[in-house]
Structure formats: C-alpha cells, structure tokens
Chains A and B, each alone.
Chain A
Amino acid sequence: MAPIMEVHQLSKVFRRPVKRKLGWPWRRAVPVNDSDSPDKVALHPINFEIAAGDSVAFIGPNGAGKSTTIKMLTGILHPTSGDARVLGMRPWEQRVKLSYRIGTVFGQKSQLWYHLPPRDTFELMGRIYGLSNADYRLRRDELVDRFSLGPLMDTPVRKLSLGERMRCEIAGSFLHRPEILFLDEPTIGLDVVVKQHIRELIRNLNRNEGVTVFLTSHDATDVESLCGRVLVINHGQLLFDGATNQMVERFLHFKEVHLQVADGPVWFAAPGVEVQSSSPTFTSFLVDVTQTPIERVLSYVLKHHQVRDVRIIEPSMEEIIRAIYTEEYPVAQKQVGPE
C-alpha cells in the first residue's frame, strides 16, 4: 500500500531580505547585508515515509524545524527544494483540497468560540467542512458519545476546564473524519489524570478508526504511550527515524544495574562498566551496552556472588529526549533510518 505521507529531500531556507542603505539620490542603493549573516537553513533535506494508520511522534527542541516541517506538510509553507506528498497531494499546491482530509489540533490555540457552548463550534465546523445536516448530526452524536461530551455540549467554553476543552477540541477536529490528525502539544497544561484520558482518546482514534496520528510533543509520556515510531529533528536535520523502543539503543546506550548481594562488594572490570556506588550489600554499575553486554555483567555476578535482587534501569524517555535536546549523546550515534 502506498504511504500516506512521503517526504523526499524536503528542505526550507529562509532568505534574508537584502537591506539597502539609503544613499544620496544620485547614487545607487548598495546592499549592506553582513556576509556573516547568511540565509537561515530551517530544514536540511529530509526524507521519511509514513504509512496509513501509523502513530508517529515528531520531536525536537524549540527551533529544531518541527513547525517548519508541519507547515510544509499542511500546505502553509512552500519548500525551497524537495517534494512531499500527503494523501497523494502536494500540500502547498492543493492546500484547500488537502484541508478537507486532515485535522489539526494545536494545544496552545483554540478553535472553540469562548462564550458559546461547544455545540455551536461543532455546527460551524460541520458547515466549514461541508457535512450534510444528517451526516453532521450522526457524526456529532457519535463523537459526543465516544468522548463523553454529553454534559459539556451546552456549557459555554469559558466555563469548561482545560481538560474538557481539549476533549472538545479533539472531537471537533474529528467531525469531518480526517485521515490524518496533526496534533501539536495536545496535552500541554493538563494534569496527569486528564493527560492519560486524552492519550486514551487519541489512541482509540488511531486504533479503532485507523487515523494516522502525527504528534509533536515535549512530553515524554505522550511519545512513549501514543507513538510506535519517532522522528527526531534538531538543527533542521533528521537525527532518528525508528521505533520508539529503539531510541534508547540509538541515543543513550547506558543502563544502570543495581545489585543487592549477600557477599559484596561486587567488583567487575570491563570496558564501559563504571561503578557508581559500592557497599557490602549493594553495588550499582553504569554499563555502556555497546561495549559490554548486560548479560556478561549479570552472568559474572550470578556466578561469583549470592545475589538477592537485581534491577536493570533503562534511561527514561525523558532522559533520552533531554539528551537529544542538549546533544549529550555520542557523535557516532547521529544516524538516521529505521532499524
């Protein structure tokens, strides 16, 4: 099956406008651009494909090129070079036609009318997307049921909590049955319980309706719980494109091994193994798994000591994302491509 989204050597360079000095009227204006301030490369040529039904996280620090990429994929921005196809269409050439088939939710921007109940915004969305009255009512009732919006539909938006508003936002963006849903920070500002609920709703949309989800988020749990695949971008370059659970190996290949033993301390010397703490009953190692496999450490310990408890702690998604943002990972690991 053809991918739902194809990006091929897509790049964006913002040209700095030439500033001209106003000289004497009989002189030609001369450019005064500083040669040290070149055009801004927002996105170096990137490539990726997304299949229908995928749930993909698109992460990177502020200024990495995420918004630029999303704007090109939704047709708002024209690329400098390269190509992209979303649902078979070139977004910047068929923006309006594409907009009928995609949905967008921006966590920090609301499409709900503040003084009116969500019902009114839903009706407006139905008209904007050209739904017939019957189809709109059917779809609305279906979403109200699925998102448990019944008690909220006739309450002015200004009286709803942030979590309730976000549920309405996502439901509203889904009225016209988009095939791709672009979500930009959908859980920002929400408490942990509400975040979980929102994630559940998005996950259900993806699994039950086959909607392709394209998510940007700085929340590590959003990435971990919603997306099977991650695209990591920084300085306009795609650093990683692969399964979420492979990010650990690619970026932070360290694991902590905590050992409770009866006959410690445990001594173990091997390349990439660093003792973090040591006592007669407890030892912890930091192991670089690219130099020494965990099994080797464990097999040595189990062979030579009476082990009471073992814990292997992998870096959290948050630590991985932090490491990516601060570029605290080995240069050799800056590779792109699915495993």
Chain B
Amino acid sequence: MATTWAKYFAVFRIALKNQWAYIGEAAVRSIFLVIIMYVFAQLWSTTYASTGHLMLAGYDVRSVVWYLAVTEAIVMGTPRLVSTLSEEIKEGDIAYRLTKPVNYVLYNYAQFLGEATVRVLLNLVIGASVAIVFFGFPSLSWVAVGTFVLAVLLAITMQFTLNMGISLLLFWIEDGRGLDLIASRMVMILGGMMIPLPLFPKWLAEICLWLPFQVVAYLPANTLVNFRPEQIASELFRAGMWTLLFATACALLYRKGVRQLHVQGG
C-alpha cells in the first residue's frame, strides 16, 4: 500500500517540478488575471457605488474582489485536461500507458494535482496582490485559512473529476470539446465564478448551492471571504459527497472504457 501511494506521490512531485520548470511562462499567462482583476475591481466598485449600499447579500466590495481573485485563480490555474487526454484516448496512446503498473485515472489525478498546485498558487499570489493594492487584506482567521486550503483541494479534485469524466466519454463519443465547453460554462455561471452565488436571485442561488459546480469556484472563495463556522461543515460535507460521486463515476467509466479497449482496441 505504501509503495502504491509512493508511486502516485512521485507523479505529483514530478508534475510539480515540471510545472515549476517553466514558471515564467505561467506567470506571463497570469498577466491576463491581473487585467481581469482590475476590470472587475472597477466594475464592482461602480456597481456598489450606484446602489448606494456598502453590503450586498453579506458581501462588501473588498470581499467580492477577493472572492473573484480566488475563483479566477482556481479556474485559470487548473490544467486543460480534456484536450490533453482526448488525443491519448482517441489515438489509442492510452494503451501504451497500460504497459506500466499504474492506474490511469490516479496517475492523471496526481499529475493534475501537481500542475494545479503551482499554477493555482501562482494565480492566488498574483490575484491577492491586485486585491491588496486596491482594497487591502480581508479579515481572516487561521481556521478560515486552514479550511480554505481544504476547500481549494476539493475544488481542484472536483475540477479533475469533471474533466476526467468528459475525457473518458471519448471512449464512445467522437469529440469532447462541446461537453468541455458546457462544463466550463457551468462552473463559470452556476458555479459562482463570475458572481458570488448569494448575489443571485434566492431561488437560483439555492439550486446552485446543491449543484457540483459550486465546489470548484464558490466554495473555496466563500470559505475565505465569508467564513461561517456554523455552515462550513455541511458545505464541506456536500462538496465531499459530490467529489466522491464524480470520482466513482470516473472509476466506472474508466473500467468500462478499458474493457472496450481490451475487446475492441479502443
């Protein structure tokens, strides 16, 4: 068992190192984040000024900007898995991975986690820097920060299971780009990436809070800027269940897909 986890930790470590090897390139890509942050900071400042309110649904301007820094950092920081794996699965290259004693899904998860760790961290530093320049630090507790780290891990894992599930469908469908686009838009809109869910109409916000997409964006961001000890346990539990459900779906899809590969060659 120790050997099994050691191999995936080794994959995580090498992916982290690989991503760090061209951190400069990743930093240049993050310039786009600075631009987005600046634009949204101005947009929300104007919005709040025009309403005359200091707080909207429990969020002030500073909270919203920090919220956006987190959601953008995570969504922009997670690797584009579908485009990478689609080539492997459709061309049959996955077959060559199977000659090694590693589980394909776990290998890709370890690699995804390693890459995302560097990219999300870099984006968080950049996004936070912009937010600090405009609005200063949010009020934080160590408990909130610790829980935030856990929520980010769940967010990255959830994003992986969404992407992996779509990629594994390529054992049966021709092109996964449409599904990938839909999933990313779901996270963007229903997951609260662009606008905090509490600012949605109440009925819509309630629905979105029960969907899996909020695990990727809303959950970690809200944990940092609007930490509520009385609700965090249930929020994390719900997120954990969604992640487990999607992870199980991935495992089943992989098993069925590989059986298809074993019988039909792909």
| Residues of A participating in the B interface, judged by any CB pair closer than 8 Å | 14-15, 42, 68, 71, 74-78, 92, 95-96, 99-100, 102, 104, 106, 109, 113-116, 120-121, 123-124, 127-130, 156, 182
Contacts and interface: CB of A to CB of B under 8 A. Distances in A.
A11 B125 CA distance: 57
Give 6 nearest A-B pairs by CB, closest first. Answer: A127-B10, A115-B21, A99-B101, A78-B262, A104-B99, A76-B95
B58 interface: no
A41 to B, nearest CB: 13
Contact of A116 (B3, B14, B100): B14
Interface of B: 3, 6-7, 9-11, 14, 17-18, 21-22, 93, 95-96, 98-102, 261-265
A176 to B, nearest CB: 9
A76 B99 contact: yes
A129 B101 CA distance: 7
Nearest to B107: A128
B84 to A, nearest CB: 13
Given A76-B262, A109-B93, A116-B18, A124 B11 contact: yes
Nearest to A126: B10
Contacts of B10: 123-124, 127-128
A78 B95 CA distance: 12
A115 B16 CA distance: 11
Given A76-B262, A104-B96, 14 more contacts: A71-B95, A71-B265, A75-B98, A76-B98, A77-B261, A113-B18, A115-B21, A116-B21, A123-B10, A124-B10, A124-B14, A128-B10, A128-B11, A130-B3
Given A123-B10, A124-B10, A92 B262 contact: yes
Given A109-B93, A127-B6, A130-B7, A116 B17 contact: yes
B174 to A, nearest CB: 14
Contacts of A75: 98-99
B50 to A, nearest CB: 48
Contacts of A96: 101
Nearest to A182: B99
A74 B263 CA distance: 14
Nearest to A74: B99
B21 A128 contact: no
7 contacts: A15-B264, A71-B95, A75-B98, A76-B99, A95-B98, A121-B14, A127-B7
A297 B118 CA distance: 76
B264 A120 contact: no
Contacts of B22: 115
Nearest to A156: B21
Main secondary structure of the interface of A (DSSP, over half): mixed
A136 to B, nearest CB: 11
A14 B99 contact: no
A128 to B, nearest CB: 5
A75 B100 CA distance: 11
Contacts of B262: 76-78, 92
Contacts of B14: 113, 116, 120-121, 123-124
Given A71-B95, A113-B14, A115-B18, A128 B265 contact: no
Contacts of B18: 113-116, 120
A132 B6 CA distance: 11
Nearest to B98: A76
Nearest to B258: A76
A92 B100 CA distance: 13
Contact of B100 (A15, A77, A99, A123): A99
B119 to A, nearest CB: 14
Nearest to A176: B101
A95 B7 CA distance: 18
Nearest to A95: B98
A68 B265 contact: yes
Most buried by A among B17, B99, B102, B265: B99
A215 B264 CA distance: 24
Nearest to A97: B101
A308 to B, nearest CB: 56
Contacts of A109: 93, 96
A99 B97 CA distance: 11
A22 B3 CA distance: 51
A42 B264 CA distance: 11
A257 B188 CA distance: 77
A52 B97 CA distance: 25
B96 A128 contact: no
Contacts of B21: 115-116, 156
A327 to B, nearest CB: 25
A59 B22 CA distance: 41
A99 B104 CA distance: 14
Contacts of B100: 99, 128
A120 B13 CA distance: 10
A139 to B, nearest CB: 16
A116 B261 CA distance: 31
Given A109-B93, A130-B3, A78 B263 contact: yes
Most buried by B among A77, A102, A123: A77
Contact of B96 (A42, A106, A129): A106
Nearest to A129: B101
Given A15-B264, A92-B262, A116-B21, A128 B7 contact: yes
